[in-house]
Structure 1
Amino acid sequence: MTRPVPPLRQGPRPLGLHLSTVMTTLLGSSAGLPHLRNGSPLWRPQLRGRAAELGRQVAEAGADAFRTALDREVRRQLDLLLTGLERYRHHPYRRDVDDPPVLWREGGSRLLDYGPPGGRPVLFVPSLVNRGYILDLSSDRSLMRWLAGQGVRPLLIDWGAPGPVERRFSLTDYIAGRLERALEVAADAAGGPVPVAGYCMGGLLAAALALRRPRLVAGLVLMATPWDFHAEDAGAARRAAAFFQPFGPLVEAWGELPVDALQALFAQLDPYLVLRKFTQFARMDPDSPAARAFVALEDWLNDGVALPAAVARDALAGWYGRNDPAAGTWMVAGLPVDPARVVVPTLALIPERDRIVPPASALALARAIPNAQIVAPPLGHIGMVVSAGAKSGVWRPLADWLNAAG
């Protein structure tokens, strides 16, 4: 019997944006050469020295020779990029783990129970933007399954894609409604209060939950959780908020901010990341563990979900634009989210190489919570949960803290 051919992957999303960015940059290199030679570009101060040195090298090599070398390099980069994209889209890897049993379900959301039955339940809260299975990525890169072998019973919220009900949700609906009910189910399974761990945006939700339901929360774990959105680059945060403004009425009418719009926002953090990633992937052995790990992570990155309109407005205009959390003006169900009032033991895992949540942004939250313990692994935002160094840098300290808190 012939097995069906899996569909081509959609990513990297939005593909048109990534391709146009790379093509414009690479193909525009030759057009910029005359300006480099006559010194006409207005360089940033920190780039003037490098530009002058490049101009000197061009003069020494000769314009024709340099143009030939430049054209050759442009073709090489484009070839590697397109080769990497094609290999990724046709790669045979598919996620090799099944979801565990569902302990609770409401609307499009589920509470996944990773066991073991005798372990201490811990509620894990992922972001609303990306799917929660980054914490259960594959058979050999799963924080949830590893913790289940360390005496912990992870209960992971899978928010699901927004349906007709969720499209009307605000952050208050998620936190004071669905998340609180999931906490009650976890506490029933534990027979008492449970630790709550939030990853990225999920940490903001978890912090608000700990303030609202302290009697059911035994401890709080914040994993790469932003708080001061203007800590390192207020301009970039405000630009992200400004991106939403022209589309606000359309998003409100539609009921959600589409996945590709969210991915376009993330692309602003590093417009040429796709070029670097896929040219590197083109050089990999497609059957190697490194190639399979790349595909697994890239599949997750491209498997995002839309954000309900009110949540998008609260996050982009409120968090990124006005910096509501750090300003003390973020409200959930009419009450301010004040980290100084968190009374439960708290662990803040703040990766030093995080480019998505700058460490200064996460530190602002940890320092505002009384007696919060801070661990700063030398990892990135996603690497803290799936990289080769994640087990020693994050998984083991997290398990030790959870077991000690019990």
Structure 2
Amino acid sequence: MRRLLREDAALIHGIAQYRRHQHRRTLEDPPVIWREGASRLLDYRPEGGRPVLLVPSLVNRAQVLDLDEGASLVRFLAGQGLRPLLLDWGWPEAEERRMTLTDLVAGRLERAMAAVPGEMVLLGYCMGGLLALAAALRRPERVRGLALLATPWNFHADPEAPSLARLLPGLEAMMAPMNALPVDTIQSLFALLDPFGLARKFRAFGRLDMAGARARRFVVLEDWLNDGVPLAAPVARECLADWYGANLPGRGEWRIAGWKVRPEEWRGPAFVAIPARDRIVLPASARALAAALPAPHVLDAAAGHIGMVAGEGAERALWRPLLEWLREA
């Protein structure tokens, strides 16, 4: 009982320290070169360089790739002479809440690609990797190389995946009012992946030096996690039923605009980053995508799903190896 009381006190202390912390993300957005509906394309080096179009997930804000001073993948790449362009999907309004994955890939993403001058490297993170893969296969003449970070493919590598699909009937009532899966519901689904992780991370945070860099990084990451976006109902149905339920990508049956997305048909350079400590996309799921691509460069990153792109060790785990590949692609 005394141990539990100490742990409860440490958890409450950590949460209180987070709520009181003064650090906030203050980065200013770069120029917007394209806009459609709620989405926009941010240009981090308008003066030029090899274009790299970054495609984030739909269930969190794009800022994870531009998190904070010294914690921004896109600003790191821009500082190395590349031209990163970040697709910010934005908060889905009425128009976006009617969209399917086909609408997003064959419509919005491909129109964003049309705004990028010349050939580009298409880089997708997590769910965005699936969208980037489909777009690259549909428009290979525009894509010089394909980089996929923590991207799932064989959803049934996780034996619990089908149980997520079985939640769909119960989620319909939550999606009905606004035609979207609410942010709180998405957060709850992520929490189920590691039910005790929340308490552990706040206890650990409470032990940090609040003036240190680690505490500041925790705060901006936690702010980003708590600032999610709803997922359009048509997309939520496809993800839960077709990806987690039927495993259409892993079976080679996932379609965009009626056309099967087959990674084995990609003919350009490919980079696949697989975080070893990923709880959101199991390494076995991402490794199935690497196995399906012809001769990809595979990076086994000693990091977690978010830590690989925005954690303290991100530069060593991902940014530097990715930069080396981008320069050769």
TM-score of the aligned structures, taking structure 1 as reference length: 0.79
Runs of 4+ with >2 A deviation: none
2:131 matches 1:205: yes
Sequence identity, in percent?
A: 54
Q: Hey, what's the Cα distance between the residues in 1 that align with 2:318 and 2:213? A: 22
**Is the alpha carbon distance of 1:249 and 1:388 closer, same or farther for their aligned partners in structure 2, counting shifts above 3 Å?**
closer
> Which deviations, in whole Å up to 9, do the C-alpha atoms of 1:153-195 show, x marking residues without a partner?
0000000010010010110110000000001111xx2xx2211
8 Å contact from structure 2 (residues 174, 181) kept in 1: no
Q: Unaligned stretches of 5+ in structure 2? A: none
Structure 1 counterpart of 2:309: 385
Aligned residue among 235, 240, 243 for 1:316: 240
8 Å contact from structure 2 (residues 275, 304) kept in 1: yes
Q: Secondary structure at the match of 2:155?
A: coil
Q: Hey, what's the Cα distance between the residues in 2 that align with 1:295 and 1:102? A: 27
> Which deviations, in whole Å up to 9, do the C-alpha atoms of 1:38-72 show, x marking residues without a partner?
xxxxxxxxxxxxxxxxxxxxxxxxxxxxxxxxx21
8 Å contact from structure 1 (residues 97, 138) kept in 2: yes
Q: Hey, what's the Cα distance between the residues in 1 that align with 2:26 and 2:178? A: 35
Q: Hey, what's the Cα distance between the residues in 2 that align with 1:154 and 1:129? A: 21
More helix by proportion, 1 or 2?
1
Q: Hey, what's the Cα distance between the residues in 2 that align with 1:401 and 1:244? A: 40
Q: Secondary structure at the match of 1:350?
A: strand
2:145 matches 1:219: yes
Structure 2 counterpart of 1:108: 38
> Counterpart amino acid of 1:276?
R
Structure 1 counterpart of 2:64: 134
Aligned residue among 16, 20, 23 for 1:86: 16
2:202 matches 1:272: no
Structure 1 counterpart of 2:273: 349
Matches within 5 A, 1:7-406: 71-186=1-116, 189=117, 192-231=118-157, 233-234=158-159, 236-405=160-329
Q: Hey, what's the Cα distance between the residues in 2 that align with 1:145 and 1:249? A: 41
Question: Aligned pair count?
Answer: 329
Q: Hey, what's the Cα distance between the residues in 1 that align with 2:127 and 2:300? A: 18
Cα offset for 1:404?
A: 1.2
Q: Secondary structure at the match of 2:115?
A: helix
RMSD: 1.2
Q: Hey, what's the Cα distance between the residues in 2 that align with 1:352 and 1:282? A: 26
Q: Unaligned stretches of 5+ in structure 1? A: 1-70
Q: Hey, what's the Cα distance between the residues in 2 that align with 1:285 and 1:249? A: 44
Q: Hey, what's the Cα distance between the residues in 2 that align with 1:81 and 1:334? A: 49
TM-score of the aligned structures, taking structure 2 as reference length: 0.97
Q: Hey, what's the Cα distance between the residues in 1 that align with 2:112 and 2:46? A: 19
Cα offset for 1:84?
A: 1.3
> Counterpart amino acid of 1:211?
L
Q: Secondary structure at the match of 2:27?
A: coil
8 Å contact from structure 1 (residues 135, 143) kept in 2: yes
Q: Hey, what's the Cα distance between the residues in 2 that align with 1:148 and 1:99? A: 14
